[in-house]
Structure 1
């Protein structure tokens, strides 16, 4: 294994990794950075193509089996802080290809799906993706207005679940039309007279659940085209549930 040592923040490699913190930089390079022991290990275990591996300590490599196609760099703690999106980096980073933003709707839409309509908080997105992973969903669609799929905070918040399932980006209305053609029912979340309690849901293996923006909920244009809209009855006096919490409640009721 050839290891290249880098000691300066002005190194061209470091500049490239830093640019990947922005969407513009990621789109231009076609690559993004993941960081932290758990996420890097999950990427390796799930056979993601690791293009570059960066570590603070050469001894770390004993716990991170990489193939010969991976470029390996030994970096300083200062460089780790420079390229990290966290205040206390763990000293382990990897570069993966974005490939694309997975905008093509697949032909096979069977199974259970989660669609994110304008979900912007990376922490919420990460919790929703991990919950969908735990519930055994087939895939997740990042709709318009949602945080970027490869945003460092989103990537870190997903904690490796992104390697266990299909993630897509696209127009939710177009996906809804595809689900309808495939015979998969779509469900929104809304408080109105036409919505039904989630208690009345019959668990199923096939559905598409749409969750909406933290402050505004699901876009009305989307709600008009769902097969059914749902609400979660609340016995207390809170006005609403956090969108990630609500997602967990609904998914584990839905999944058969």
Structure 2
């Protein structure tokens, strides 16, 4: 175990740099914070390259440290500067980014496609809900927020390490999935929609949820059956994460 006592330490600077997307892309790594997230990552098949703990955490927490992962004990005030959260729990890990671009969907399984979701909190919530609803994968379009944003990882509440999340799924790929036997069901507003409960989701289905401001793109709308969730009050629309949850659990209801 090595000790870090200064924020000018190169390891400290490196960890802090991973809060930026360009650094994550350059080095192929990202950070996770907190006891639950780190424990979930350790229990998954993800490759963890280093663990960092504060002095206080090391002295007071009964945490089982893997012997094959580099461990760094960091002075409390320095550890605070390394973290993205305002009240860190005292432990963080550096994790390798996996290549999830090689993917072929199975018509016996269920997926949700995120079309240009911009908010990391919404994306994390969708991943968490997909895990809870028993879905088999979350597919992200090219225009989605960075999957490895610290807020996305935190918002997934550990489901990040349970779900297969595939990035860079183009509209062309989505069209190929449709031609392979999937129907595409997209939540939308407008006249050319049906009530979401009227859609037959017992067929092989990919549910689609669109951008928070603009909804599903025109290219995707042309490929899918657009469904509408009734708005009974004065709200203009539902949060993307909420809409995704309603549609996913409707699929679960129909198949149960």
TM-score (norm. length: structure 1): 0.91
2:247 corresponds to 1:250: yes
SS of the residue corresponding to residue 62 of structure 2 reads helix
Partner of 2:193: 195
Q: 1:201 to 1:65 in 2, by over 3 A?
A: farther
Aligned-partner Cα distance in 1 for 2:109–2:248: 13
Q: Does 1:236 align with 2:233?
A: yes
> Matches of residues 84-123 of structure 1 in structure 2 within 5 Å?
84-100=83-99, 102-106=100-104, 108=106, 110-123=108-121
CA apart distance, 1:238: 1.8
Q: Shift in Å at residue 162 of structure 1? A: 1.3
Kindly tell me: are residues 109 and 49 of structure 1, through their superposed partners in 2, closer, same or farther at Cα, counting changes over 3 Å? farther
Q: In 2, distance between residues paired with 1:104 and 1:60?
A: 43
Structure 1 gaps, min length 5: none
The farther-off stretch of 102-111 and 7-16 is: 102-111
SS at match of 1:210: strand
Q: Superposition pairs for residues 42-57 of structure 1, below 5 Å?
A: 42-56=40-54, 57=57
Distance 1:90 1:238, change over 3 A: same
Give, in whole Å, the separation in 1 of the partners of 2:101 and 2:45: 22
Change (3 A) 1:159 1:60: farther
- Measured after TM superposition, the shift of residue 214 of structure 1 is 0.7
CA distance in structure 2 between the aligned counterparts of 1:126 and 1:165, rounded to whole angstroms: 11
Write out aligned runs for 1:13-52 (5 A).
13-52=11-50
Q: Deviations over 1:192-215 (max 9, x none)?
A: 332110121334273111111111
* Structure 1 residue 74: Cα displacement: 0.4
Q: State the alpha-carbon separation in 1 of the partners of residues 176 and 144 from structure 2.
A: 20
Aligned equivalent of 2:64: 64
Q: Deviation at 1:250? A: 0.9
Determine if contact 1:111/1:205 at 8 Å carries over to the other structure: no
Distance 2:34 2:48 in 1: 14
Question: Structure 2: where are the runs of 5+ without partners?
Answer: none
Distance 1:147 1:10, change over 3 A: same
Normalised to the residue count of structure 2, the TM-score between the two structures is 0.91
Residues of 2 paired with 1:205 and 1:38: CA distance? 36
Distance 2:232 2:160 in 1: 34
Please report how far the alpha carbon of residue 109 of structure 1 lies from its aligned counterpart in structure 2 after TM superposition. Answer: 5.4
Answer yes or no: is the 8 Å Cα contact 1:109–1:179 preserved in 2: no
The separation in 1 between residues aligned to 2:242 and 2:151, in whole angstroms, is 19
CA contact (8 A) 1:18 1:83 kept: yes
Answer yes or no: is the 8 Å Cα contact 1:51–1:94 preserved in 2.
Answer: yes
Whole-angstrom distance in 1 between the partners of 2:86 and 2:93: 18
Change (3 A) 1:62 1:174: farther
Q: 1:4 to 1:61 in 2, by over 3 A?
A: farther
Partner residue, 1:135: 133
CA contact (8 A) 1:112 1:208 kept: yes
Most deviating of 177-186 and 83-92: 177-186
